[in-house]
Amino acid sequence: MSESASLLNIQDLRIEIAPRHGTPRTLLHDLTIDVAAKEFVALVGESGSGKTMAARAILDLLPPGVRRSAGAIRLDGQDIAKLTLPQLRGIRGSQVGMVFQEPMSSLNPALTIGLQLAEGLKLHRGLRSEEIRSKCLAMLTQVGIKDPERCIKSYPHEFSGGMRQRIMLASVLLLKPKLLIADEPTTALDTLRQREVLELMVELARDSGVATLLITHDLGLVSRYAERVFVLEKGHLIENGETQQVLTRPTHSYTKRLVESRPKRSLTPRTDTSQSEVLLQIDKACIAYSERPGLFGTATLKPVVHDVDLSVRAGQILALVGASGSGKTTLGRAVMGLKTLTSGAIRFDGKDIGDLNTAETRRFRAQAQLIFQDPFFSLDPRWRVEDIIAAPLRHAPGTATAHRHRVSEVLEEVGLAGYGERYPHQMSGGQRQRITIARAIVSKPRLVVADEPVSALDMTIQAQVLALLERLQAEYGFACLFITHDLAVVEQIADQVAVMSDGRIVERGPTEVVFGYPQHDYTRALLAATPRLPG
Amino acid sequence: MVQYVAKRLLLTLPTLLLVSLIVFSIIRLVPGDPAQVLLGEDADKASVAQLRQEMGLNRPLIVQYLHWLGHSVRGDLGNSISTGEPVSGMIVQRFQLSAVVALTAVFLATSIAICAGLIAAWKRDTGVDFAVVGAASLVLALPSFWLGLLLMLVFGLKFGWLPVVGYVPFSEDAVQWALFLILPVLTLTIIESGVLTRMMRSSSLDVLKMEYITHARAKGLSEMRVLTRHVFPNAFAPTLTLVGLTLGQLLGGIAVIETVFTLPGLGRLMVDGILARDYPVVQGCLLFTGLAYVVINLIVDLCYPLFDPRVTAN
Amino acid sequence: MRFTRPHLRLNGIIGCILVGILLLTIAVGYVWMPYNPIAIDLDHTLSHPSAAHWLGSDEFGRDVLSRAMLGARISTTIALEATFGAIILGASLGIVTGFLRGWTDRCLMMINDSILALPGILLALGLIAVLGSGQASIVLALTIAYLPSVVRVVRGAVMSIREREYIEASRVAGDGTLYTMFHHVLPNILPPIVVLTTSVFGWVVLSESALSFLGVGVPPPAPSWGNMLSSARPYMENASWLSIVPGLCIALTLLGINFFGDALRDLLDPRRDA
* Tens of pLDDT, residues A115-137: 999 998 888 888 888 889 999 99
Main-chain phi, psi angles of A75, to 5 degrees: -110, 115
User: Are A109 and B307 within 8 A, CB to CB?
Assistant: no
Nearest-by-Cβ selection for C173 from A365, A377, A426: A365
Nearest-by-Cβ selection for A382 from C171, C187, C274: C187
What's the confidence (pLDDT) of residue B12?
Answer: 82
Cα of A245 to nearest chain C Cα, Å: 39
Interface test with chain A among C5, C164, C170, C172, by most A beta carbons within 10 Å: C172
Interface test with chain B among A104, A108, A289, by most B beta carbons within 10 Å: A108
Contact of B224 with chain A, judged by CB distance below 8 Å, is answered with no
* Tens of pLDDT, residues B5-53: 888 888 888 888 888 888 888 777 766 666 766 676 677 778 778 777 7
More confident residue, B83 or A156: A156
CA–CA distance from B255 to each of A479, B267, B292, C58, C112 (Å)? 70, 4, 15, 25, 24
What's the confidence (pLDDT) of residue A136?
Answer: 92
Euclidean distance between CA atoms A417 and A420, whole angstroms: 7
Strand order through the sheet with A228-233? A96-99, A179-183, A211-216, A40-44, A228-233, A236-242
Contact of B34 with chain C, judged by CB distance below 8 Å, is answered with no
Cβ contacts of C215 on chain B, cutoff 8 Å: 271, 275
User: Are A108 and B212 within 8 A, CB to CB?
Assistant: yes
What's the confidence (pLDDT) of residue B272?
Answer: 86
What's the confidence (pLDDT) of residue B119?
Answer: 94
Please say whether the beta carbons of B191 and B260 come within 8 A: no
CATH of C10-25+63-268, one of 3.40.50.1000, 1.10.10.10, 1.10.8.10, 1.10.3720.10: 1.10.3720.10
Contact of C102 with chain A, judged by CB distance below 8 Å, is answered with no
Nearest-by-Cβ selection for A378 from C6, C166, C274: C166
Euclidean distance between CA atoms B285 and B80, whole angstroms: 11
Helices and strands in chain A: count of H runs, count of E runs:
19, 20
CA A80, chain centre distance (Å):
33
User: Are B308 and A110 within 8 A, CB to CB?
Assistant: yes
Cβ-Cβ contacts under 8 Å for A509 (sequence gap 6 or more) = A496, A497
Q: How many CB atoms lie within 10 A of CB B180?
A: 21
Interface test with chain A among B124, B214, B223, by most A beta carbons within 10 Å: B214
CA–CA distance from C239 to each of A48, C64, C249 (Å)? 66, 12, 17
Whether A213 shows a pLDDT value over 90: the answer reads: yes
Whether A293 shows a pLDDT value over 60: the answer reads: no
* Tens of pLDDT, residues A481-509: 999 988 888 888 888 999 998 889 999 99
In this prediction, the answer to ipTM > 0.95 reads: no
Whether A196 shows a pLDDT value over 90: the answer reads: no
Chains in contact with B, where contact means 3 or more Cβ–Cβ distances below 8 Å, are A, C
Question: Within the 103-142 window of chain C, which residues sit less than 8 Å (CB to CB) from chain B?
Answer: 110-111, 113-115, 117-123, 125-130, 132
Cβ contacts of A365 on chain C, cutoff 8 Å: 172-174
Mean pLDDT of chain A: 87
Cβ contacts of C187 on chain A, cutoff 8 Å: 380, 382
Euclidean distance between CA atoms B243 and B231, whole angstroms: 18
Q: What region does B160 belong to: left with phi over 0, alpha with psi -120 to 50, or beta?
A: left
Q: What is the DSSP letter of A406?
A: H
More confident residue, A281 or B2: A281
* Tens of pLDDT, residues A430-476: 899 999 999 999 999 999 999 999 888 888 888 899 999 999 998 99
User: Are C6 and A392 within 8 A, CB to CB?
Assistant: no
Cβ contacts of A65 on chain C, cutoff 8 Å: none
A90: nearest CA in chain B? B220
A4 — pLDDT class (breaks 50, 70, 90): very low
Contact of B219 with chain A, judged by CB distance below 8 Å, is answered with yes
Euclidean distance between CA atoms B266 and A26, whole angstroms: 63
User: Are A109 and B211 within 8 A, CB to CB?
Assistant: no
Whether B164 shows a pLDDT value over 70: the answer reads: no
What's the confidence (pLDDT) of residue A115?
Answer: 92
Whether A535 shows a pLDDT value over 50: the answer reads: no
What's the confidence (pLDDT) of residue B32?
Answer: 67
Whether A43 shows a pLDDT value over 90: the answer reads: yes
A58: nearest CA in chain B? B218
User: Are C188 and A380 within 8 A, CB to CB?
Assistant: yes
Contact of B123 with chain A, judged by CB distance below 8 Å, is answered with no
What's the confidence (pLDDT) of residue A382?
Answer: 87
User: Are C243 and B149 within 8 A, CB to CB?
Assistant: yes
Whether B63 shows a pLDDT value over 50: the answer reads: yes
User: Are A92 and B124 within 8 A, CB to CB?
Assistant: no
A98: nearest CA in chain B? B218
Contact of B7 with chain A, judged by CB distance below 8 Å, is answered with yes
Cα of A121 to nearest chain C Cα, Å: 40
What's the confidence (pLDDT) of residue A368?
Answer: 92
Q: What are the structural domain ranges in chain C?
A: 10-25+63-268
Mean pLDDT calculated for residue range A501-527: 89
What's the confidence (pLDDT) of residue B103?
Answer: 93
Cα of A22 to nearest chain C Cα, Å: 11
C202: nearest CA in chain B? B141
Cβ contacts of A361 on chain C, cutoff 8 Å: 174
Mean pLDDT per segment of 10 residues, for chain C of length 274 residues? Answer: 69 89 89 82 79 80 87 93 95 88 84 82 79 84 91 89 87 86 88 90 92 86 89 83 89 92 78 41
Cβ contacts of C171 on chain A, cutoff 8 Å: 338
Instruction: Please report the domains of chain A, with CATH numbers, ordered by start residue.
Output: 3-260 (3.40.50.300), 278-290+301-528 (3.40.50.300)
Please say whether the beta carbons of A410 and A389 come within 8 A: yes
Mean pLDDT calculated for residue range B271-291: 83
Nearest-by-Cβ selection for A392 from C174, C188, C270: C174
Nearest-by-Cβ selection for A377 from C164, C184, C187: C164
Nearest-by-Cβ selection for C236 from B21, B157, B256: B157
Cβ contacts of B6 on chain A, cutoff 8 Å: 295
B19: nearest CA in chain C? C114
Contact of A106 with chain B, judged by CB distance below 8 Å, is answered with yes
In a 10 Å sphere around its CB, with 0-12 CB exposed, 13-18 middle and 19+ buried, how is residue A176 labelled? Answer: middle
Size of the A and B interface in Cβ pairs below 8 Å? 83
Contact of A111 with chain B, judged by CB distance below 8 Å, is answered with yes
A1 — pLDDT class (breaks 50, 70, 90): very low
CA–CA distance from A216 to each of A264, B271, B305, C23 (Å)? 20, 67, 36, 58
C256: nearest CA in chain B? B141
Per DSSP, the three-state class of A270 is coil
What's the confidence (pLDDT) of residue C271?
Answer: 52
What's the confidence (pLDDT) of residue C38?
Answer: 80
Q: What percent of chain B has pLDDT over 90?
A: 27
Size of the A and C interface in Cβ pairs below 8 Å? 61
User: Are A361 and C274 within 8 A, CB to CB?
Assistant: no
